[in-house]
Chains A and B, each alone.
Chain A
Amino acid sequence: MPRLEPGTGKTKWYKTDGAVAVYSALISILIGMAVGAIIVVVVGLLKSNITPAGIWEGVRLVFLGVFSTGRNGSALSFGFNAVNLGNMLFRAVPLIMTGLSVAVAFKTGLFNIGAAGQYLMGTMGTLTVGLWLGWAGVPTFVAWLCAFLAGVILGGLWGAIPGLFKAFLNINEVITCIMTNWIAANLVTWWFDAHEAFKNSAEGGKVGYIIPLKNVGVVTPKMLMNVIFPGSQANGGFWIAVIIAIAMWVMMTKTTFGYELRACGSNRHAAKYAGINDKKNIILSMAIAGCLAAAGASLYYLSGNTEFYWSTYQKLPAEGFNGIPVALLAANHPIGVIFSGIFMSMLNISGLQLKYLTAYNEYISDIIIAVIVYLSAFSMLFKTVLSKKIRKGTGGNVNDEPAPAENKGAAGAAVSQAAATAEAVSGPAESSLEEAIDKIGESPDIVSAETEEGGEK
């Protein structure tokens, strides 16, 4: 049987698995945005207060919202918008971190849908320690570091709980993650409810928010972000997120620790056979996932301006669940997560531009995200189809005796992961879709529940 000699099977960079993953993600994104544009058109046609010109503006903002520079006279103008781009990076930070959390867990065979709870625990740890140390007058850098670590460690411990259940009692981590999410939501609510000192009553008209960390000066340095994107909320948190993502990539692919983690994820029995402590690795992997998600919260609230609405027992933070599409779009690749996180946050910015500049509201971007989540299931399909097309006639990965059943099994698993994801996210995604339809065309005065856009006030 003719067989390729090692080395001759090399494929060009644009035909590699990685490239194919990027293409399929791009296809999902394009379809998602196209669907978003179609919804803009349909809604525009249904609402009497939106003119054809308004529809065209809406469509352009869906695609180019981040480059919008407001209105020049009556027409929309586009160009470099430092505030938008900076805010995009700022808002990308928690998404990148929760995306990393989901991606790293998935690489080790675990489905972490507990990022929301871990995120909340990180919020609680960071805000509490940040405010305490700030009031105590601890030097800013020390206070910052302690606040950050407090959040990360608390999130890590929280993430370890489903890991413990999985390792010792073989309880599916999805179930325990969902439970710990709501336990976290109630725990955080109780903690801030019980401690009046944290509540922000100094600023008039505000109820239910925790004092922002800028009031005590515990704030992430800008690290040149204010030079590149003057006027935006972007800060050094973005660089930290990027560094963490790269570190995760190195850890997963270059170290024996990552090798062990992935071996456990891929085949727990074989890992055990090779003497790897599978229980320890499952717990560690969930703990790392928890640390990452919590770090997202820490960096978000350490920016200073962001305010936390503490009565969160009825609502889990969207960042937790949005980590799943971020990870899926990036095919669970830590570096890819940086870009998919930025992309998701770009959609947010586009949504805000729609809200400020047109009669539409920002929930259109939630619809686009929802569509992309569903399409990420297809992105696996696109990937399979594309790699077949691309691979035809070039260096093969099929072997002496192909194993069709097993290959199908793998594809099936991928699709079911995506399907499970879609299911898990469908709750929040659908509700925001309904909300969006309700609110489209209303006066654009909806205040974001959690944040206040400092740069755009």
Chain B
Amino acid sequence: MSEYVIEMNHIRKEFPGIVANDDITLQLKKGEIHALLGENGAGKSTLMSVLFGLYQPEAGEIKKDGKVVKIDNPNDATALGIGMVHQHFKLIDVFTVLDNIILGAETTGALGFLKKKEAREKVIALSEKYGLKVDVDAKVEDITVGRQQRVEILKMLYRDNDILIFDEPTAVLTPQEIDELMEIMRGFAKEGKSILFITHKLNEIMAVSDRVTVLRKGKYVGTVNTKDTNKQELSNMMVGRPVQLEIHKKPAEPKETVLKVEGLTVPSKIHKNNAVNNVSFEVHAGEILCIAGIDGNGQTELIYGITGLEKASAGKITLLGHDISNASIRKRAMTGMSHIPEDRHKHGLVLGYTLEQNLVLQKYREPRFQNHGFIKFDEVRKYSEKLIKDFDVRSGQGPITIARSMSGGNQQKAIIARELDRDEPLLVAVQPTRGLDVGAIEHIHAQIVNERDKGHAVLLVSLELDEVLGLSDRILVIYEGEIVGEVDPKQTTPEELGLYMSGAKRQGKEAE
């Protein structure tokens, strides 16, 4: 019996124009949590897709318990006990939790009728055993993203998988859910299950993993024991140069009010109450104001209301002295607002368009890019090549790459390039570093601070406490659609922030 349950030796996987995995070796011990660390585009997902049978490698071998195996498709992987929770869940929204779990592994009785009762008992037993609480009869579309992830985990357990791959599982979770997930993962490891954990978040690696394998630009950098390393060393390995983990910035010099929000109320699309209820605040030139809070407390709707993506039912919004409460989206943008949207696939990009077409999404009507309604293609090309260079947006074919085929991190960089280059007095940035790696985060944080130092106002929405505390000059905490507190990042602690975010503490209430 080999020491390793899974060995991937000298794996090479090519795509037209690039080598996504170049001679990569990954060895997974039984009962360990093994983190796979790398920047966007380092080849982590490709390597896992090879293990899961989605891609065939050009070279290299995969061993299970010391024996060479061939994994042609996900069914082979499942047969070998390999399960995967994908970054984007593979669930059917209108099916119940139970139906989703048994889908593809249904047990049937005579005449092919489903034996749902047995399945249900097994699922409930599993969920109790591992503390994966979830309502098996709820429809997937009605449960939170965190619960959906549990469904994905239960799917693996239901299939008796003992090698569990988690592809960036924390990207969509709240801090509390992340803690719970870590606990669940530790439980699995204790049981003897082996876990491969793809991430680029160093905190999580330090918290939960036993060993770390680092990839960089498709190449193997090394494998280290977590207890023998630290965050700085790991990020240097990952990026290939020393990385600034701390955000360095001068003290803010707030000037005149740029954005004034008074009594803004936005109805919710999910429930009957208002998603945003009577919110008022001001953002000044030369400061970064952060709206902190746990996901789903009205941040999205607040930004929709300010940018015009959704109609506010009450309240007044003033941008640079102009009342834009009822203005169209374009009017608001032209008054002086750029917007890095929360959902890059829904709002940020036209995925079917090329990179250059996306880069002029906010500017195509300017005389610089059109003449009597005819697009000036060479101007668009010149402009996009400049942005691609300035912001290091990487893609297979440069300006003519279809946005859909770009990696998530580079898609985000493209959006940020487009919005920052507009140079508007107000920048609304919603989770600007979501899904990005350390190197890119460093770059974007520097850009946002730079915006502030230019005298622009920045309204930031972030779920990452590190980002909230490190980047902002002033923090407003939102809880259930209301601003429950304003704190100074220099004086507050993550614990205090956590109390506000969970609704346990509230400013003004005590004073009343």
Residue positions of A touching B, CB distance < 8 A: 1-4, 6-7, 9, 254-257, 259, 262-263, 266-267, 269-277, 391-407, 410
Contacts and interface: CB of A to CB of B under 8 A. Distances in A.
A255 B346 CA distance: 24
Contacts of B45: 401
B351 interface: yes
A259 B218 contact: no
13 contacts: A4-B396, A254-B374, A255-B370, A256-B365, A259-B364, A270-B346, A272-B309, A275-B333, A395-B397, A398-B18, A399-B405, A404-B49, A406-B351
B20 A396 contact: no
A143 B402 CA distance: 48
The 10 closest A-B pairs by CB, nearest first: A396-B16, A275-B330, A396-B17, A6-B398, A400-B41, A401-B407, A266-B352, A273-B347, A398-B15, A399-B396
Contacts of A396: 15-18, 396-397
B350 A6 contact: no
B410 A400 contact: yes
Given A399-B396, A399-B406, A400-B410, A269 B346 contact: yes
B330 to A, nearest CB: 3
A257 B373 contact: yes
Central interface residue in B18, B40, B402, by most chain A CB within 10 Å: B18
Given A255-B373, A410-B404, A272 B395 contact: no
Contacts of B353: 262-263, 266
Contacts of B145: none
A275 B362 contact: yes
Contacts of B395: 399-400
Given A395-B16, A404-B49, 15 more contacts: A255-B374, A256-B375, A257-B373, A262-B352, A262-B353, A270-B346, A271-B350, A275-B328, A275-B329, A394-B16, A396-B15, A397-B397, A398-B16, A398-B17, A400-B406
B348 A9 contact: no
B350 A266 contact: yes
Contacts of A271: 350
A443 B173 CA distance: 73
A13 B124 CA distance: 59
Contacts of B120: none
Given A401-B41, A401-B407, A407-B404, A9 B396 contact: yes
B18 to A, nearest CB: 5
Interface range for B: 35 or more
Contacts of A275: 328-331, 333-334, 362
Contacts of B22: 1
A269 B347 contact: yes
Interface in B195-245: 217-218
B350 A263 contact: yes
Contact of A392 (B16, B19, B328, B330): B16
Central interface residue in A262, A273, A394, by most chain B CB within 10 Å: A273
Nearest to A406: B404
Nearest to A6: B398
A412 to B, nearest CB: 13
Interface string B13-56: 00111111010000000000000000011010110010000110
A396 to B, nearest CB: 3
B347 A398 contact: no
A272 B20 CA distance: 35
B407 A399 contact: yes
Given A9-B396, A254-B375, A4 B352 contact: no
Contacts of B16: 391-398
A397 B18 CA distance: 10
B404 A403 contact: yes
A7 B331 CA distance: 38
Nearest to B41: A400
